Amino acid sequence: MNIKDQLQHKIDFKTKPLGALGRLEEIALQIGIIQDSLSPKLEKPVLLVFAADHGLADEGISPFPKEVTWQMVMNFCAGGAAINVFCKQNGIDIKVIDAGVDYDFPEGLPFLDAKIAKGTRNMLRQPAMSVDECRQAMEKGKGFVKAEAENGCNTIAFGEMGIGNTSASALLMHKFTGISIEECTGKGAGLNDENVVRKKKILKEVSEKYQVENPLDILATFGGFEIAMMVGAFLEAKKQKMVILVDGFIATAAALTATRFDKKVTENCIFCHTSKEKGHQLMAKYLGAKPLLDIGMRLGEGSGAAVAFPIVKSAVLFLNEMTSFEDAGVSNKE
């Protein structure tokens, strides 16, 4: 029997009716296949939070000013954000990365400096990144994941912070799926209906401004430094045979982009929750993903991945610790 069949046999002969643990059985099977093991383990879970600014934010596409990006990085470093709370709750190591924040941080802060530039360019005027900058960001993302793998981590999640990054994600989603920009665009950090209409108009104008075809050019033109680093991180995590916990709209847009470089990336992805951001459900459906939770979250930061992690742990625990009918001396159905 191959590993998939062996795992399915092990799952089916636990002391329960067939399929009675629902999605937990699917997750256990997926993780066992990723690790090529009948007794998979979740080792040293890490959440990398990539932060960067977006030039397009100058067009008022978010209700929050650009300064909130660096202020939230300071909050992450102080341990006061939602993602800090959930990572602490669930034993996940959190690392904050400056991918391109428009701010000069004081020395001594507990974050990793990978700043490519002080934010992307305003894509209403010119491409967000040069191809070289985009490539550089992807390589840095790969490097961070490789370092975690070398440290013994086999379970990883990616979060982000960047005022304007739902706009970049909506554009990437539109370009890679063909779904209309109107359906890809939502309220982001809380725009009112009137400003959502304006945001859609701006993004449509940006979308029509550039004729780019290949994935790298599309990412460079419409993405962000934090998104490009996440794309590289997804690719490296797949290469390292890691379990990847996927957060909401922006992380899923990065995962979608990563599939254009390696279509097998999603084999390692557990999609953790359905974001309230418009477009996320459509993107998940496009990827054939079935997110674990739907509890109205739309925060980003990796928060949905951290909150869902105990469910993923439960899947591995039942596979490893629950007895089989034979071991327990319990009669199975005929």
Would you say residue 334 has pLDDT above 80? no
280 and 141 within one domain: yes
Whole-number pLDDT of residue 191: 84
Structural domain total, the chain: 2
For residue range 59-101, list pLDDT tens digits in order.
999 999 999 999 999 999 999 999 999 999 999 999 999 999 9
Q: What is the mean pLDDT of residues 200-222?
A: 97
In a domain, 334, yes or no: no
Whole-number pLDDT of residue 333: 66
Its domain, for residue 160, covers: 46-315
Where does residue 288 rank: exposed (0-12), middle (13-18), buried (19+ CB within 10 A)? exposed
Tokens matching residue 109: 């802060």
95 and 11 within one domain: no
Domain of residue 70, CATH code: 3.40.50.10210
285 and 175 within one domain: yes
Whole-number pLDDT of residue 189: 81
For residue range 112-123, list pLDDT tens digits in order.
999 999 999 999
The Cα 224–Cα 236 span in angstroms is 18
Would you say residue 203 has pLDDT above 60? yes
For residue range 170-186, list pLDDT tens digits in order.
999 999 999 999 999 98
13 and 130 within one domain: no
Assign 54 a pLDDT band (cuts: 50, 70, 90).
Answer: very high
Active-site choice (133, 301, 321, 334):
301
311 and 208 within one domain: yes
Distances (CA, A) of 41 to 152, 179, 288, 316: 11, 38, 25, 7
Q: What is the mean pLDDT of residues 221-234?
A: 98
Percent of the chain whose predicted confidence (pLDDT) is above 90: 92
What string of H, E and C letters represents the secondary structure of 2-33?
A: CHHHHHHHHHHCECCCCCCCCHHHHHHHHHHH
Would you say residue 161 has pLDDT above 90? yes
Whole-number pLDDT of residue 331: 74
Q: What is the mean pLDDT of residues 186-204?
A: 88
Q: Does the annotation count 182 as an active-site position?
A: no
In a domain, 331, yes or no: no
In a domain, 116, yes or no: yes
Q: Across the chain, what does the average pLDDT equal? A: 96
